[in-house]
């Protein structure tokens, strides 16, 4: 809905991922995209354009909800929805099959990077955490997310996932997500799968785009995942060439 923000920020991400562009003092492309998106959105208010729908009043209202809120089960809301089960299954079954296949693909991707994980345990954890999140009122399923070779190459280990998961929980429990939504345009959020997607569902709570339409998010994620899978395959090929040629290919590729 706001291509002036989304396309610019998406270009920033692509320039970094595929163009090798390095930003000032190594600032991550995702952080640059956030900053640029905010500048465009808030700057547009000076000209009465209102791109992104951000306002000072909205920020003030968001701070009003700031504070610790204990998560409570949502059993009533969950089970009352069973009357719509026939309609829900039309999308739930295909999406479940897609998520299953994608999870197995991503386990395979991790194996290509030298890390083997038992598929059954991975899928079980994925499903169990999704059910727990659902019963706590979270409409977004968990996912075995893509990008393992890339995160590993950047130095990420289990602590990376743990830290991002804890951070998302803190942001949710203290109402900080509402403040972020009031400060950062959602259009930029959909253009930036790099910065936070790895943590969104692992924490079992909605991410900071939690107010977006689930169907729109599914479409956006499917596209970003396809891009990520292509990148994984590229890294896997390079890793294979490195091992076969004693590292010469890696050196030619700049490490």
- Structure tokens of 147? 């990008």
Higher per-residue pLDDT: 11 or 187: 11
How much is the pLDDT for 210?
A: 34
Residue 6 confidence (pLDDT) above 60: yes
Separation of alpha carbons 236 and 3, rounded Å = 33
Whole-number Å distance between alpha carbons of 143 and 127: 9
Q: Counting runs of H as helices and runs of E as strands, what totals does the chain give?
A: 13, 0
Residue 231 pLDDT: 56
The whole-model pTM stands at: 0.54
Do 2 and 52 form a contact (C-beta atoms < 8 A)? Answer: yes
Residue, of 117 and 237, whose pLDDT is higher? 117
**pLDDT at residue 235 in the model:** 55
């Amino acid at each position: 809905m706001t291509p002036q923000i989304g396309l610019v920020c998406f270009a920033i991400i692509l320039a970094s991922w595929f163009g090798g562009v390095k930003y000032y003092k190594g600032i991550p492309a995702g952080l640059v995209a956030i900053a640029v998106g905010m500048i465009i959105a808030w700057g547009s208010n000076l000209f009465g354009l209102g791109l992104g729908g951000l306002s000072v009043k909205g920020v003030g209202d968001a701070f009003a909800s700031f504070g610790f809120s204990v998560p409570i089960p949502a059993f009533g809301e969950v089970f009352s929805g069973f009357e719509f089960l026939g309609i829900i299954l039309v999308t739930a079954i295909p999406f479940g099959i897609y998520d299953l296949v994608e999870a197995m693909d991503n386990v395979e991707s991790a194996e290509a990077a030298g890390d083997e994980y038992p598929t059954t345990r991975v899928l079980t954890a994925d499903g169990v955490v999704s059910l727990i999140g659902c019963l706590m009122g979270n409409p977004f399923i968990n996912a075995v997310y893509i990008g393992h070779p890339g995160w590993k190459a950047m130095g990420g280990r289990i602590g990376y996932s743990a830290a991002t998961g804890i951070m998302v929980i803190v942001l949710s429990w203290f109402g900080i997500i509402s403040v972020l939504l009031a400060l950062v345009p959602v259009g930029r959020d959909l253009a930036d799968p790099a910065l936070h997607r790895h943590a969104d569902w692992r924490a079992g709570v909605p991410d900071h785009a939690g107010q977006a339409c689930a169907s729109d998010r599914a479409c956006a994620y499917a596209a970003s995942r396809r891009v990520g899978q292509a990148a994984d395959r590229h890294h896997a090929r390079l890793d294979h060439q490195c091992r076969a040629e004693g590292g010469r290919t890696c050196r030619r590729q700049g490490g």
